[in-house]
A = this chain, B = another copy of it.
Amino acid sequence: MKAAPVRLIVPRLPFWPKLSAEEQAVVSERAVVRRFGKGQLVSSNSSECLGIVFILEGEIRVSMTSDDGREVSLYHARKDEVCVSTASCVIRQLTFDTAVVAERDTSLLVVPAMVCARLMESNVHVRAFVFESETERFSQAVRAIQLMLFKRFDQRLASYLVSHFERSGSDEIRKTQEEIARDVNSAREVVARMLREFADKGLVEIRRGLIKLHNVDGLRKIL
Q: Considering residues A95, A135, A145, which has the most beta carbons from chain B within 10 angstroms of its beta carbon?
A: A135
Could you say which residues of chain B place their CB within 8 Å of the CB of A74? 142
* C-alpha gap A50/B125 in the complex (Å): 26
Interface residues of A in 149-181 (CB under 8 A from B): 149-151
Could you say which residues of chain B place their CB within 8 Å of the CB of A72? 149
A89 contacts chain B at the CB level, 8 A cutoff = no
A122 → B minimal CB distance (Å)? 13
Chain A contact patch, size range: 20 to 34
Could you say which residues of chain B place their CB within 8 Å of the CB of A145? 142, 145
Flag A53-77 by CB within 8 Å of B: 1 or 0 each: 0000000000010111010101000
B66 near A96 (CB under 8 angstroms)?
no
Copies of chain A in the complex: 2
A91 contacts chain B at the CB level, 8 A cutoff = yes
Interface residues of A in 121-137 (CB under 8 A from B): 124-125, 127-128, 131-132, 134-136
B143 near A91 (CB under 8 angstroms)?
no
Flag A89-132 by CB within 8 Å of B: 1 or 0 each: 00101111000000000000000000000000000110110011
A150 near B67 (CB under 8 angstroms)?
yes
Which one of B66, B125, B139, B141 contacts A94 once the chains associate, using CB atoms below 8 Å? B139
Could you say which residues of chain B place their CB within 8 Å of the CB of A149? 66, 70, 72
Beyond the given pairs A95-B139, A131-B135, 4 more chain A to chain B contacts, judged by CB atoms under 8 angstroms and listed by A's residue number, are A64-B142, A131-B131, A134-B138, A138-B142
